[in-house]
Amino acid sequence: MEKKYKILLLIFLAISVGFNIFFIGSYMHTRKVLKKWFTPAGRMQVITERLDLTKAQQKKFIQMKRELKFKGSKIGLKHIVDVNVFWREVVKDNPDSQKIKTLLERSFQGLKDYKILSIECMLKFLKSLTPEQREIYVNMAKKAKFSGR
């Protein structure tokens, strides 16, 4: 009877070691893939692989990102100024509520303008994709809670 328990124990230990190796391998692979999302080059690589982009499509993607960064930075700089002016007004002894309201509205408009810009840039890129690639890209964007990055 004792020999059976030893065999069962060895089998259990072998299975346990196998699961540990599997989980560690999975963790390392997932970590490697997730790391790619934190750099522009890594994101480009993931998107290129998942969509199987051609060189021309890759250029369109890079073009989209550059346009969004360039035009978006102008919107962002104005937004930062508005936010700073907003907080300077808020901390005053007698803040001007109308000025605060105007600054908030301008801030919301800036966010709206950026979102519209990001969608316009994305639509230009999507035109270069096949219907299957568009479907994959849109699913990726939904999963990432697309923010135009």
According to the model, what pLDDT value does residue 132 have?
Answer: 94
Residue 55 covered by a domain: yes
Residue range of the domain that includes 46: 37-143
Residue 6 covered by a domain: no
Residue 89 has pLDDT above 50, yes or no: yes
Q: Looking at the chain, how many residues does it have?
A: 149
User: Which CATH number fits the domain that encloses residue 42?
Assistant: 1.20.120
Residue 97 covered by a domain: yes
d(CA 113, CA 117): 6
According to the model, what pLDDT value does residue 93 have?
Answer: 92
d(CA 28, CA 34): 10
DSSP 111-124: HHHHHHHHHHHHHH
User: What's the structural domain count of the chain?
Assistant: 1
Token pair belonging to 18: 């196998």
Residue 31 covered by a domain: no
Distances (CA, A) of 64 to 15, 44, 69, 108: 49, 12, 9, 23
Residue 149 covered by a domain: no
Choose the weakest-confidence range: 3-12, 55-64, 106-115: 3-12
User: CA angle, 64 as apex, 53 and 141 as ends, to 5°?
Assistant: 65
- How confident is the model over 13-29, as pLDDT tens digits? 888 888 788 778 887 87
Residue 1 covered by a domain: no
Residue 99 covered by a domain: yes
- How confident is the model over 122-138, as pLDDT tens digits? 899 999 999 999 999 88
Residue 108 covered by a domain: yes
